[in-house]
Amino acid sequence: MSKLKKAMEKAKVARNVVSPDFIKDEEGLSAVLGHYAEKHAQVRKEISPTYSRTRIVDIDERVLEKNKIVSLFHERAMTDQLKILRTQVLNRMKQLGANSLLVTSADPGVGKTLTAINLAVSISQEVDQTVLLVDADLRTPSIHRYFGLDISKGLADYLLHQAELPDLLLNPRIENLVVLPAGNGLPNSAELLGAPRMESLVKEIKGRYTDRFIIYDSPALLSCADPLVLSGFVDSLLLVVEAEKTSTKDIRQAFEVLREKTIIGTVFNKAKG
């Protein structure tokens, strides 16, 4: 073997073991970066053991489309408004150093759940960070229905000490998205949400998944105490109002109730284009 060939063979072997000698040459550098990216991915997997336990559930894309979860269909179907909302929410949360967001409204039926889902899906597709979508509307749980899922266990079971978090998390085959369904509805949800068990959940989520966005869906603010209780566990809030429906009086009242909280913005929903 010629000296040159020998040197090249040696280089190939060295490149495979990512010798720092080859960092200088471009091909070697990409090999190194590729190698480290792979290693990093492995490490990430290892430090998130619960993610690997997350149950994967099949969803029917037609159901999502019918239920207006448009954010899944990438840029093609995503409205400009949703892209703007995603950007604004991400920018604001970044400025605040926040990673948890509560979606609420003054009155029921204005589009909180759909906004929370579309936001969660679109963020999960935009940034390389997992988004945890929590159905904290224990009075009328509905996130599972939007995904076309028949789920009976969720946050309610955790709060009643009947299940642990890793057993309740779901991945609806959407990369980077994890859902914590509400489970069966609970009439005394405000007390349970205010109990120490909820605090442990928030701590567990925040502590174990520091690089994760957490989006909580909730009931309406002026109909029960739940959102106010939940607001104590999040860094930021998003208020949804329905065009031509939510009254100025109710918006004022909602802001008054949340006066000490960090409201990052208001979504003007169902406006006619």
Site residues for ligand ATP per CB under 6 A:
68, 105, 108-114, 137, 140, 142, 219-220, 269-270
Report the nearest approach of Mg ion to the CB of residue 113 (Å).
Answer: 3
List the one residue from 113, 115, 231, 269 that touches Mg ion (CB under 5 A): 113
Task: Please name the amino acid found at residue 248.
Answer: T
The phi, psi pair for 21, rounded to 5°, reads -55, -30
Residue placing its CB nearer to Mg ion in the complex, 82 or 143: 143
| Residue 22 or 254 with smaller CB distance to ligand ATP | 254
Instruction: Give least dist CB 110 to ligand ATP, A.
Output: 4
| Among 107-115, 117-125, 161-169, 222-230, the segment contacting Mg ion (CB under 5 A) | 107-115
Classify burial at 166, counting beta carbons within 10 Å of its beta carbon; exposed 0-12, middle 13-18, buried 19 or more: middle
Contact 217/155 with Cβ under 8 angstroms?
no
The least distance separating Mg ion from the CB of residue 193, rounded to whole angstroms, comes to 15
Nearer to ligand ATP (CB atom), residue 130 or residue 246: 246
Residue number, 99 or 104, with CB nearest to ligand ATP:
104
Minimum gap (Å) between residue 217 Cβ and Mg ion: 6
CB nearer Mg ion, residue 22 or residue 106: 106
Give the CB-nearest residue to Mg ion: 113
Stretch that binds Mg ion, among 21-29, 105-113, 146-154, 206-214 (CB under 5 A): 105-113
CB of 79 to ligand ATP, least distance (A): 9
The residue (of 99 and 115) whose beta carbon lies closer to ligand ATP is 115
Angle at 107 between CA 268 and CA 70, to 5 degrees: 45
Interacting residue ranges for Mg ion, rule: CB under 5 A = 112-113
